[in-house]
């Protein structure tokens, strides 16, 4: 259903999520691991939306750093919506760093908004494990309503 010009089409309030279980999350090498889960409010009405996630991740590396580290977000257990790679220069032995980024996905059609949608933030290290530290980690996720259609 199209939005009408001059009629308010509010966006739902974004939601916050911390590390899963409120503990440090170990991420084995080569395994995409859910590290943060956000229980997002439902979309306001059926239509086009842009899911977004503003994440800040406190990541600890071991004595041997991973060769690459990928960060992404997804809705529920679905495919990754958007992913990116942590700069290689940050991956040094025994490092702790705060990775902060705002990402969005191209338009998604929401046919039947329902009570809640889980957004997961994932980490996938290559060759060596990493740990997401609970302290200083979190994410804010939500829906941005597409312009009038």
Q: Does some domain include residue 14?
A: no
- Looking at residue 95, which CATH number applies to its domain? 2.60.120
Residue 132 domain boundaries:
19-138
Which pLDDT belongs to residue 115? 63
Number of domains, the chain: 1
Distance CA 134, CA 21 (A): 9
pTM of the model: 0.86
Summarised one tens digit per residue, pLDDT across range 38-54 is 998 888 888 888 889 99
Q: Does some domain include residue 123?
A: yes
**How would you class 36 by CB atoms within 10 Å of its CB: exposed for 0-12, middle for 13-18, buried for 19 or more?**
buried
């Amino acid at each position: 259903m199209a939005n009408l010009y001059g009629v308010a089409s509010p966006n739902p309030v974004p939601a916050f999520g911390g590390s899963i279980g409120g503990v440090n999350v170990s991420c084995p090498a080569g395994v995409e691991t859910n590290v943060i889960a956000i229980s997002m409010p439902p979309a306001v009405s059926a239509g086009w939306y842009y899911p977004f996630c503003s994440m800040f991740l406190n990541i600890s590396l071991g004595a041997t750093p991973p060769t690459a580290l990928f960060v992404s977000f997804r809705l529920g257990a679905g495919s990754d919506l958007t992913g990116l790679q942590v700069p290689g220069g940050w991956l040094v032995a025994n490092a702790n760093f705060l990775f902060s980024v705002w990402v969005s996905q191209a338009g998604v059609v929401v046919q039947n908004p329902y009570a809640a949608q889980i957004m997961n933030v994932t980490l996938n290290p290559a060759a060596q494990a990493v740990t997401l530290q609970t302290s200083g980690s979190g994410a804010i996720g939500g829906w941005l309503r597409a312009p009038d259609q």
